Structure 1
């Protein structure tokens, strides 16, 4: 659990830091968006705090840190829509899919409650991202290929074993052990991990479809497309 909590500490810190970078650029007439970003920063601060404390709670401590490729993509976003699509729709979507399997991952009632409450927060962030993407595609359809380009790069980084990626070997192993219920049940945990990955990818594509980017299904890279259900 300490390794998983370490990864989530990294992810949630960036998820709170990135919206803060955009606050000065939100127009006064769009104050609702600014207010929402403030609530997200508060949510992510709680998540960072709880997962860091969870990693330290039993003496295990913070463990292996990834390369940060996927997280760096969020920080380097130069457009608000780019940031929102990559963070709210993709990154937080993957995390929420994992949180929703918290009943299987959590080993104690406290762990399960952490995942349940974090998933509730992530749902709000996801809803904002999907609505924003839908608005952009409806009002600026010429940006469709631009958004595909953002996702092309981010999906490659997210599958590269860096921070925030469940295929990063230490996180992958930790999840298999947690899902299986022990080191001796690693193979059983692996099967559940594959179900988690399948859920992440299919829910990701579903959200993009709802937003109006259903053709993303045909452009997924092979590492993600292998988990996708038939249309």
Structure 2
């Protein structure tokens, strides 16, 4: 039976071409589609559309009995030039080993028409950014987002001795400074990542949101009873700048998450244990939970890269050594922060308490070292090399 459609009074500026294209879709080249219509400028618009799409038009004389005439469209061989060389942007279910910048922002697995601008991103190789655990970690991160206004009971404001409150303010100031670096680094990496690796992009976006909340809650705790923040030492800023200066995706992730944030998880646990008030205990526990996810991705990603290319361990080692050399002449953790940690662990200025606080901070540093060594071992470093690299990590913790 001949293919026929009746457009009635539907014009091309109202979508008539959609019905024509649908009618032609099931036909073979050379088949005829008969179209009836009385819409505005019907013949003119139909002819123009068919020429663009590669079809021929045969318009017989009008039928005087009906006051209109059919148009016969002979389906052509020509395909829409935009799709003649179309390719798939990988497969929907999993990222490609290599992404094509010409895919632009197309969804993974989409049919990408030829032409258009290339995406200006740096990281297009899966194994340089990937970890199999990324989708699971993103799902966990999405499920565990929290609101600083409601997750923390800000009404339980502390009534602490001035020197203890000063110590809290100083430590919170230090935490904010470090979290701001931890916010900027994944933001920079995210902007250089091909969307073919969307699970990693989503995880980095969640990490950025985490760090933004951490900056907020540590700032709010610092200013809960004070009008000003504490001190920012040049040694701390120099240490963090060395993280910002690392351009490589894996090396930046390794230095920030495996070594820095991994060490920070221990610090947050210490602060939670020795928190002198409920708000400090809450904000450090919330931040530590988020940071553990960041560390998990950093370790899994570094382990993935080393598994693909065992020689990459040399580059990881080189990054640690370069950073150590760059910071060799700095003083490490500022005395203002170190002394504040001692006081928080001590709880008072009694000599026995100060001794206890000092030893607690020393024990914290030992736990930090042990944690770094274990994470380095997971990545594939032998125990002796893991111990050596851990010892080279910045004394500023992050």
TM-score of the superposition, structure 2-length normalised?
A: 0.53
After the TM superposition, which residues 79-94 of structure 1 pair with which residues of structure 2 at under 5 Å, given as runs? 79-94=248-263
Number of the residue aligned with 1:216: 386
Higher strand share: 2
Matched, 1:201 2:380: no
Pairwise CA distance, 1:223: 8.6
**Most deviating of 167-176 and 215-224:** 215-224
After the TM superposition, which residues 128-167 of structure 1 pair with which residues of structure 2 at under 5 Å, given as runs? 128-155=297-324, 157=327, 160-162=330-332, 167=333
> Secondary structure at 2:226's aligned position in 1?
coil
- Paired with 2:254 and 2:392, the residues of 1 have a C-alpha distance of 21
Pair 211,159 (structure 1): closer, same or farther in 2 beyond 3 Å: farther
After the TM superposition, which residues 1-231 of structure 1 pair with which residues of structure 2 at under 5 Å, given as runs? 1-59=168-226, 61-67=228-234, 68-155=237-324, 157=327, 160-162=330-332, 167-184=333-350, 185-214=353-382, 215-221=385-391
Pair 151,61 (structure 1): closer, same or farther in 2 beyond 3 Å: same
Pair 222,89 (structure 1): closer, same or farther in 2 beyond 3 Å: closer
- The superposition leaves residues 109-157 of structure 1 with CA deviations (integer Å, 9 ceiling, x where unpaired) of 2211111111100010000000000001111212211110111233453
- CA contact 1:16–1:44 (8 Å) conserved in 2: yes
Pair 54,38 (structure 1): closer, same or farther in 2 beyond 3 Å: same
Higher helix share: 1
- Paired with 2:256 and 2:388, the residues of 1 have a C-alpha distance of 21
- Paired with 1:159 and 1:30, the residues of 2 have a C-alpha distance of 40
- Paired with 1:155 and 1:195, the residues of 2 have a C-alpha distance of 22
- Runs of 5+ unmatched residues, structure 1: 225-231
> Secondary structure at 1:63's aligned position in 2?
coil
- Paired with 1:25 and 1:16, the residues of 2 have a C-alpha distance of 15
> Secondary structure at 1:151's aligned position in 2?
helix
Pair 103,219 (structure 1): closer, same or farther in 2 beyond 3 Å: closer
- The superposition leaves residues 93-113 of structure 1 with CA deviations (integer Å, 9 ceiling, x where unpaired) of 111111112333311122111
TM-score of the superposition, structure 1-length normalised?
A: 0.89
The higher relative CO (CA closer than 8 Å, separation ≥ 6) is in 1
Higher-Rg structure is 2
- Runs of 5+ unmatched residues, structure 2: 1-167
Pairwise CA distance, 1:74: 1.3
- Count of matched residue pairs: 221
- CA contact 2:186–2:208 (8 Å) conserved in 1: yes
> Secondary structure at 1:25's aligned position in 2?
coil
